Amino acid sequence: MKWVEAVPVDSKPCGACSLCCKLFDIDWLEAPKPAGKWCPHCKPGAGCKIWQSLPSRCATYYCVWRLDPDLAPIWRPDVARFILSHAHEEAPLAVLVDPAFPDAHRREPYARMLAETARGILEGRGSTLVVFVGQKRTLLFPDAEIPIPDGVQLHEIRIEAQTGAGGRFWRPTFPNH
């Protein structure tokens, strides 16, 4: 998982949240770190210890909670225990879950609201949310969460709409490697 830059449209503060300093791969510091491990410069709850010389890529990242003025405080990542991110190079909308709370996105009201978001994206774009918990990846559908096999690239996945007794639903097809 790589962290890429986004343009902020709002100035909601990070407060005590530092979760992006844990959940992303970071390869632009003198000591690269994998997803799920705290950056050595982070003091969780207090922020970045090198804020006076903050790397530009750190200074220009904003999660969806920072970007969307309508997203309520329960979506702040240190409260939700997951990050919603538009600025993820592998997924149009990613849910990066803290591995210490791997079911965080399955709690209510998050599960219901993420399912509604998935339905909206599927109906509009034919893609869906990707959930990352450490190295595990799943596709989130309104009625199911389906694991992505190891080695499959996101751009290789095909998602098709189907109609069943309960109405319209979507399922993925994965390539054979």
Candidates 35, 36, 65, 110: give the one binding ligand SF4 (CB under 6 A): 65
Cα-based torsion angle of the residue sequence 121, 57, 76, 120 in order, rounded to the nearest 10 degrees: 0
Candidates 77, 137, 148, 157: give the one binding ligand SF4 (CB under 6 A): 77
Q: Provide the pairing of β-strand 136-141 with 167-173.
A: unpaired
Q: Which stretch binds ligand SF4 (CB under 6 A): 54-62, 109-117, 126-134, 153-161?
A: 54-62
Instruction: Tell me the closest approach of the beta carbon of residue 160 to ligand SF4, in angstroms.
Output: 33
Please tell me whether residue 47 adopts helix, strand or coil conformation. Answer: strand
95 interacts with ligand SF4 by CB under 6 A: no
17 interacts with ligand SF4 by CB under 6 A: yes
Instruction: Tell me the closest approach of the beta carbon of residue 119 to ligand SF4, in angstroms.
Output: 25
- Cis ω before 109 (30° cut-off from 0): yes
39 interacts with ligand SF4 by CB under 6 A: yes
88 close to 62: Cβ distance less than 8 angstroms: no
Give the separation between CA 116 and CA 127, rounded to whole angstroms. Answer: 14
Its sign, for the CA torsion 99, 100, 102, 108, is negative
Instruction: Tell me the closest approach of the beta carbon of residue 39 to ligand SF4, in angstroms.
Output: 3
**Nearest by Cα to 66 from 17, 2, 130:** 17
129 close to 117: Cβ distance less than 8 angstroms: yes
Place of tokens 């959940």: 23
Candidates 58, 97, 130, 133: give the one binding ligand SF4 (CB under 6 A): 58
Instruction: Tell me the closest approach of the beta carbon of residue 143 to ligand SF4, in angstroms.
Output: 28
Candidates 35, 62, 128, 157: give the one binding ligand SF4 (CB under 6 A): 62
65 close to 71: Cβ distance less than 8 angstroms: yes
Number of residues near ligand SF4 (by CB under 6 A): 24
Interface residues with ligand SF4 (CB under 6 A) are: 14, 17-21, 26, 29, 39, 41-42, 48, 50, 54-55, 58, 61-63, 65-66, 76-77, 83
